[in-house]
Amino acid sequence: MLDWTDKHCRYFHRLLTRHALLYTEMVTSGALIHGDRARHLDFNSGELPLALQLGGSERADLARCARWAQEWGYSEVNLNCGCPSERVQRGAFGACLMREPELVADGIKAMRDAVSIPVTVKHRIGIDKTESYDFVRDFVGAVSLAGCTTFIVHARNAWLQGLSPKDNREVPPLRYASVYQLKKDFPALTFVINGGITQSAQIEEHLQHVDGVMLGREAYHNPWWLSDWDARFFADASQTSQTRESAEQKMVTYMNQQADQFGTPWPSVARHMLGLRHGLPGARRWRQVWSDHKLKELPPEQVMALAHGQD
């Protein structure tokens, strides 16, 4: 979710669900150590609970970054062993790390020794075209020995050659049964399933077999879906009175705050809520207005009025 789940996106999603655990976009250990650390790590406290997703493989660097995550107030630090992009592979992290479970275990142990917040791993069920359950079972077994108790599993292989990251989310076949089997083989561990999930009924079905469900692009493109989750999955009906319009108004208030405090132009925030009226009459016109950069000099209240056909 690089360039997607930034702090503005997460603020918006937190308006829709108070309980779902949110994740940052993947941040490399190198970016934190050598780059603008505050830009990568700062977040609004209202986003919590929030996990920092790390990319890296050097144990000392991972431990250092995990300590920063805890100091900044993150709820969890997650090591990405699932991203298949060639750029990530050149950096020796992401899905290619599944070939080196002992290296991953070493990094997990270093992070767990450095912090008290949970340290988790996100990974695939395999790499390239070999569909061997033993491969992912042995990976989980080795990493769990380092003390990792939570695994977020994208139920597809990662093909490291010949597919773009987009194709890697669609072409390798989904094999949910492999994730279910992991739960059976390691009942004391927590397994969260990911991949190809677009409906609440699917979430309910998966929860019969595993401990949790992670949603990515479908939640981004159809964010109003999140507004049903607290009542449906967390027994909290306090959000049921919220409407799309009230969420949009809260985002307008947030846009003004970001402009006043940081000089952030409202289009940088508004781009994350363009799916809010997904499936409704007039949604296309509404999206066109909120994505029209020719209106960027107008205050967001006026843009909202135009989006709803008001003068």
Is the fold of 7-233 the same as that of 244-307? Answer: no
Q: Is the domain 244-307 a CATH 3.40.50 member?
A: no
Cα–Cα distance, 241 to 36 (Å, whole number) = 40
Residue-range domain boundaries for the chain: 7-233, 244-307
Q: Is the dihedral of CA 7, 8, 13, 19 positive or negative?
A: positive
Could you list the pLDDT tens digit for every one of the 311 residues in the chain? 677 899 999 999 999 999 999 999 999 999 999 999 999 999 999 999 999 999 999 999 999 999 999 999 999 999 999 887 665 555 567 788 999 999 999 999 999 999 999 999 999 999 888 889 999 999 999 999 999 999 999 999 988 776 777 777 778 889 999 999 999 999 999 999 999 999 999 999 999 999 999 999 999 999 999 999 999 999 998 878 899 999 999 999 999 999 999 999 999 999 999 999 999 999 999 999 999 999 999 999 999 999 998 75
b (16+ CB within 10 A) / e for 126-148: bbeeeeeeebbbebbebbbebeb
Residues recognised as catalytic: 83
Tell me which CATH code domain 7-233 carries. Answer: 3.20.20.70
| Strand stretches in 130-276, DSSP E | 150-158, 190-194, 212-214
